Every structure is written in C-alpha cells, then in structure tokens.
Structure 1
Amino acid sequence: MRLGFISAALRRLAVHELRVFAGFGLWITGRRHQVRPSDRAFGYAAPQAATVYGLTFVCVVETVGVSFMVRDWPTVHAALLVFDLYTVLLVLGMQAAAVTRPHVLSVDTLRLRRGAQVDLTIPLAHIISVRKELRFPDGKATPQEVLDLSVGSQTSLTVELTEPVTHVRLLGKRQQVRTVRFHADEAGELVTALRAVVAQGGGLRRGRTGPSRCPGRPG
C-alpha cells in the first residue's frame, strides 16, 4: 500500500512538472490555458513576480559560481550544470504557469487556479457570497473546510459556498471546502463580474457581499 502511494505521488509530481514546463510554450506565444473566448480571465501572479525573478537571478549566479569552482572535474561539472539549469527552468516555470493559468469566470463556473498546482472548479450555483478581504496567512492551520490559495503570502478575495466542493491536493489528498480565500490582481473587477453573473442565476441570496479587510492587518 505504501509503495502504491509513493508511486502515485511520484506520478502526480511528474505530471505537475510537465505542466509547469508546458507553461513556457503558452507564455512565449501569449496564450492562456483553457480560456475560451466567452470566458473572463483574471490574473494573480503579480505578488510573486519579484520573488520569482529574484530567486531566478540567485540561481543563475550560483550556477556560474559553482561551474567555475568545479571546472577541473568535468563529470561533476556536467552533473551540477544540468541540475542547476533544471532548477532555474523550474523556478521560471512556476511564474510561467501562474501567468498562463489564470482564474476563469464562465457563465456557470468559477475556476480558481494557482499555477500548475491548484485547479478548483466551483459551480456558480454554489456561491452564496463573495467579498474583497485582504489577508496575510501566517502559516497556521486553517479550519478543515477553508482553503487558502495565497500568492505572495496574501489573499484578497473570499468566496463562501452553500455546499462543499472537493479540492484535490498535489499528492492526491482530497479536501471538502466551503470557504475559499484566493488572490486576484484585479480583485474589484472579479467581484463585480462574479456578482453580476451569479445574480443572473439567483445566487448570492444571503451573506455578506461588501468589501472587508482582515482585522489588524495592513491594507
């Protein structure tokens, strides 16, 4: 059983990395993953951009420095060079995946994503409230039915549901969630668009829908 779990986890990790690298092709060509002409896309990658590019720069500097230090050992040099270049591509691929896999609002679903790692589809009929709410998760455990999809250590929107939806984690663990906190670069526009679409279907019947900030947090 343990071997089966490990095998499944490795397969899921391999698929995740393939999706990350696939983002380069979409990024270069200016396309987005599974966004139809009738859909509205909302990006979320801005808060992590500086961190990702800074980490990429550090990795490049390290690659050059290590290559210089081990230049007299060709086998070690080649192995470390491949590993370091792979790391640089993986870090950049995280940003590529975030840019090319935006949140998607369609006529009947809200699809929330975080790079190639998270892809959660919420039927609009299940949404009972949506609000702007700037939060900075501190890493502490959240309630079982709450999902934090922070980007750059922040979330800016909270969606509450009438019934749970299933979130599948990277390694396959399933979680039933009724509240989802996530970030969108254009949070106000997403709230307006989501309320308009959901209201057409009779949703948002109750619950708080106005803007809010997390008490005690800077905004």
Structure 2
Amino acid sequence: MRMIIWAFVGTDLVGGLLMDTRLPPVGRAIHLVWLFFSLTLTLGFCAMTARAPHVLDSDALRLRTGPLDAVTIPVSALGSVRSVHRSISGHGLRRVPDEEEAVVCSVGSTTHLVIDLKQPILVRLRKGEPVLAKRLYTAANEPAKAAHMLSSSIAEGACMGRS
C-alpha cells in the first residue's frame, strides 16, 4: 500500500509542478499551498503506516504496530511459532473475529506469523475489553527469518529451563 502512495507522491509532485507553470501568477500561490498540504498529508500517511520493528531480547518479545500499539510477551510464555499467511481485517492491536483467545498485532490486515503461547497473557486493547490471549497473529518483513529467530529463542529458553 505504501509503495502505491509513494508512486502517487511522485506523480503528484511532477504533475503539480508542471501544472503550476501553466497557471496565472495569482493561482500559483494557491496551487503551491494546495500542493504542499497534499504532499504533507500523503507523506504523513506513509510515515504513520511504517512498521516499527519488533524487538526480541533474552527476556521478552515486543510486537509493535507502528504508532498504533504494542504488546510485550515474556520469552518464557512463548510456545511455538509458525509462518502462516492470513488476512484479518482492521489495523493495530485487535481481536481475531473467529477465535476467542487470539489477538492480531499488525499495522494492516495481512499477517505472516502465528505465535502460540504456553501460558495466556493479558492483552489490553485500545477498543474493547482486555483479552486473555493464547495465540497472536503478527506481520513481519521477513516471516521465515522471524520464525527462525523466535523458534531459536524458544529452544534456548527450553534448554535453560532444564538446566
């Protein structure tokens, strides 16, 4: 979606500047102000939908949804992870419509990873009641790499638990 918006920014800028050469001097000032606000809003949209990176350290996994929200999961609560492509309408941190104990954590409607938890965690949503989640759906730029990193972290946690 952002790539299409970036294409519109480019064509809008070139077209707007070409159109500005054809306008009378009085109309140029108004048109440049319009062009400035149009580009500012478009670029603001692109910035708003940019993914903030998820963070995995030795203690917790922090899943982020850009400027919308985030959820922190203790590594000890992670059960398994798999790469699954799914579309769940909406954006931000929200419930999965057909699963009682599942939450989606993504900027858009597309998700790439499913994280099953050993123990449920309380997830506070912006809208609605908190959910005791046993499964999380999320998006990643490189789903296979993210799944591998999470699986490695889960395996390390299991090994440390046996020591």
Q: Report the TM-score, using the length of structure 1 for normalisation.
A: 0.53
Amino acid of the structure 1 residue aligned with 2:149: A
Give the structure 2 partner of residue 56 of structure 1: 9
Aligned length in residues: 151
Name the aligned partner's letter for residue 72 of structure 2: T
**What secondary structure, in the 3-state scheme, does the structure 2 residue paired with 1:201 have?**
helix
Question: Using a 3 Å threshold, how does the CA distance of structure 1 residues 64 and 74 change in structure 2: closer, same or farther?
Answer: closer
Q: Which residue of the partner structure matches residue 195 of structure 1?
A: 151
Root-mean-square deviation (CA), in Å? 3.5
Paired residue for 1:80? 34
Three-state SS of the structure 2 residue aligned to 1:190 is: helix
2:148 is aligned with 1:186: no
- Identify the range of structure 1 (82-91 vs 126-135) with the bigger mean alpha-carbon deviation: 82-91
Instruction: Report the AA paired with residue 163 of structure 1.
Output: P
Find the aligned partners of 1:85 and 1:158 in 2 and give their Cα distance: 36
CA shift for structure 1 position 179: 1.8
1:89 aligned to 2:14?
Answer: no
Q: Percent identity?
A: 26
Q: Which residue of 1 aligns with 2:130?
A: 175
1:184 shift after superposition: 1.4
Q: CA deviation at 1:141?
A: 3.6
Q: Aligned partner of 1:166: which letter?
A: V
The 5-angstrom pairing of residues 130-209 of structure 1 reads 130-137=81-88, 141-150=97-106, 153-161=109-117, 162-169=119-126, 175-176=130-131, 177-202=133-158
In the superposition, relative to structure 1, how do residues 151 and 93 fare at CA in structure 2: closer, same or farther (>3 Å)? closer
Instruction: List structure 1 segments (4+ residues) > 4 angstroms apart after TM superposition.
Output: 61-71, 73-79, 150-153
- The structure with the largest alpha-carbon Rg is 2
SS at match of 2:130: strand
Return the offset for 1:64.
5.2
Q: Deviations over 1:188-209 (max 9, x none)?
A: 2222221222223239xxxxxx
User: How far apart are residue 118 of structure 1 and its match?
Assistant: 2.6
Letter in 2 for 1:120: V
Q: Does 1:121 align with 2:72?
A: yes
Structure 1: where are the runs of 5+ without partners?
1-47, 204-219
CA spacing shift, 1:74–1:187, aligned 2, 3 Å: closer
1:157 and 1:70 map into 2 onto residues whose CA distance is 55
Change beyond 3 A, Cα 1:103–1:66: farther
In the other structure, the counterpart of 1:112 is 63
Letter paired with 1:107: S
Higher relative contact order (CA 8 A, sep 6+): 1
Q: What letter is aligned with 1:200?
A: E
In structure 1, the residue matched to 2:93 is none
